[in-house]
Amino acid sequence: MNKIINSPEAMVREMLEGYLCANPQLFEKVPDTNGLVLKERLDKVAIVTGGGAGNEPWNIGYVGYGLADGVALGHVYAAPPARAIMNVTKAVHHQKGVLFLATNHAGDVLNFELAAELLQLEGFQTRCVYVTDDIATAPLEQREERRGVAGVALVLKIAGAAAAAGLDLDGVARVARKANDQLRTLGVTTSPGYLPSTGEAMFEMAEGTIEFGMGFNGEPGILRMQLQPADRIADLMMERLLADLQPAPGDEVAVLLNGFGFTGLLELCIVNRRIKTILDQRNLRTYDMFIDTLLAPQGTGGFSITLLKLDEELKQYYNSAAESPFFHKREIRS
């Protein structure tokens, strides 16, 4: 696949510079760092996120109002350096403490933990929450080992609302962990993504096959089969998600249908229709559904379904608006 870059080494820096050119009123770059922060320093607990670039619009698109205050970027599909996380943290309003919120991948966890330890030696208050929503990566009894995927968008949105509401650092961390506990995601890949540095496919996938639970970098999934009708794919995914989440009849659920970059709205709307039918058949209350592309590896075909079981406290924060150039969610007035 032809890719439009200048050089592999400069991709992330030049991407960040271009994003800032388009949004100079909102963001500023952190000096000597592949990271950005909101220009407006809000008097609240700050949220700093981060991860490897390339799974667009995660991570830069998650900085905004009702979301994160700053982001540290790694290279494409690589964790951000601890020094970058520290620089971003020092650039946000940190007087009320900083929540580090990232997906549960070994490199990200290692570097956020290191940054947290070093910052605490300098007097910073930090807490870490790692999202573990991908049910394909470990059984239910080992939930803390699961990797984080698209559900991070919902946890970050809820944590952002809790911080904006004035909760203290421990309170924001508690709400974020509670949201993560009620979160489940499963993806299906229909065609391989590409490395932006070379244009080469990241993994082999025979035409006409699909794979459930595959990692964004081609990590093996849990089930490979011939392409099925949309309803059958949704049925298989929802069966596993609901078995893992174990909602009771009458529970309220929010749904994020996250399209990977190579899957269109036509396909996603067909799948969304089936998800709603399944929820109705299970006597579950669909509190909210939305279709977006919030975590998509380069050029990959497929989608993920995220379910979030809500109670009154989580709904209070879920209802708040979130706004960034790449992440829009209107306020819900119940």
Name the CATH topology of 183-329.
Hypothetical Protein Tm841; Chain: A;domain 3 (3.30.1180)
Q: How far is CA 65 from CA 68, 69, 157, 245, in A?
A: 7, 8, 9, 30
Task: Tell me the per-residue pLDDT of 65-74, one tens digit each, with 9 for 90 and over.
Answer: 999 999 999 9
* Predicted pLDDT of residue 236: 98
* Predicted pLDDT of residue 279: 98
Say how far apart CA 112 and CA 115 lie, in whole Å.
Answer: 5
**Residues present in the chain in total:** 334
Is the confidence at residue 326, as pLDDT, over 80? yes
Domain 8-182 maps to which CATH number in 3.40.630.30, 3.40.50.10440, 1.20.120.330, 3.30.2130.10?
3.40.50.10440
Contact 72, 35 (CB under 8 A): yes
Backbone angles phi, psi at 311, to 5 degrees: -115, -175
pLDDT bucket at 265, cuts 50 / 70 / 90: very high
Backbone angles phi, psi at 292, to 5 degrees: -160, 175
Mean pLDDT of the chain: 96
pLDDT bucket at 202, cuts 50 / 70 / 90: confident
| Spatial strand order in the sheet of 35-38 | 27-29, 35-38, 70-76, 46-53, 98-103, 126-131
Average pLDDT estimate for 274-279:
98
Torsion of CA 309, 312, 313, 314, to 10 degrees: 30
Percentage above 90 pLDDT, the chain: 88
Torsion of CA 105, 111, 116, 119, to 10 degrees: -160
The DSSP call for residue 65 is B
Task: Tell me the per-residue pLDDT of 86-105, one tens digit each, with 9 for 90 and over.
Answer: 999 999 999 999 999 999 99
Pairing state of beta strands 183-191 and 209-212?
Answer: antiparallel
* Predicted pLDDT of residue 48: 98
Say how far apart CA 17 and CA 288 lie, in whole Å.
Answer: 35
Helices 169-181 and 152-164 pack at an angle, to 10 degrees, of: 150
Say how far apart CA 201 and CA 93 lie, in whole Å.
Answer: 41
Q: Return the domain boundaries, the chain.
A: 8-182, 183-329
Which residues, in sequence order, are CB contacts of 46 under 8 Å at separation 6+?
69, 70, 89, 92, 93, 94, 96, 97, 98, 99, 163
Task: Tell me the per-residue pLDDT of 312-324, one tens digit each, with 9 for 90 and over.
Answer: 999 999 999 999 9
pLDDT bucket at 52, cuts 50 / 70 / 90: very high
Task: Tell me the per-residue pLDDT of 139-166, one tens digit each, with 9 for 90 and over.
Answer: 999 999 999 999 999 999 999 999 999 9
Average pLDDT estimate for 201-219:
87
> 216: buried, middle or exposed (CB in 10 Å: 19+, 13-18, 0-12)?
buried
Q: Are 8-182 and 183-329 the same fold in CATH?
A: no
Is the confidence at residue 275, as pLDDT, over 90? yes
Which residues, in sequence order, are CB contacts of 81 under 8 Å at separation 6+?
72, 74, 111
Helices (H), the chain: 11-22, 82-91, 106-121, 152-164, 169-181, 230-245, 265-281, 312-318
Among 137, 97, 296, residue whose Cα is nearest residue 216: 296
